[in-house]
Amino acid sequence: MSEKKKFNLEYEIKSSPRILYSFLNEANGLTQWFADDVTVRDQVYTFTWDDEQQKARLIAAKENKLVRFRWLDDDPQCYFEMEIIQDELTNDVALNITDFATEETIAERKLIWNNQIDYLVSTLGA
């Protein structure tokens, strides 16, 4: 199995950090853009896409700032993180995504994130 590499993506989002955060860590927020269905139990989020389930544990959360998840069936050092960055001068808000993928799947993963974030932006009406 080839090694996974960390990659970063950044998206400008026209939203307040508080509103954006609710879409990153609440099940009903995540359901609107990230997965078809999301349930949470004891910090473990079950994401469903087309009847396929994947579970991730919430391993870090800072209110209105950041959530970090680890897929339960993934390498322990791998995670995906969504960080809200607000420019102190302009108040512009960006969403920084950190994820891991193999060399072969990285382009596909980036495409998936681009599509997901498009959904998020349209959901926010931003």
Q: What is the pLDDT of residues 75-108, one digit of tens each?
A: 889 999 999 999 999 999 999 999 999 999 999 9
Per-residue pLDDT tens digits for 48-81: 999 899 999 999 999 999 999 999 999 889 999 9
32: buried, middle or exposed (CB in 10 Å: 19+, 13-18, 0-12)?
A: middle
Q: What is the mean pLDDT of residues 10-37?
A: 96
User: 26: helix, coil or strand?
Assistant: coil
Q: What is the mean pLDDT of the chain?
A: 95
Angle at 2 between CA 96 and CA 83, to 5 degrees: 10
Per-residue confidence band for 126, with pLDDT thresholds at 50, 70 and 90: low
Q: Is the pTM of this model over 0.85?
A: yes
Number of domains in the chain: 1
Residue 78, domain extent: 4-124
- Confidence at 2, pLDDT banded by 50, 70, 90: confident
**Maximum Cα interatomic distance, the chain, rounded to a whole number of Å:** 45
Assign residue 98 the CATH number of its domain. Answer: 3.30.530.20
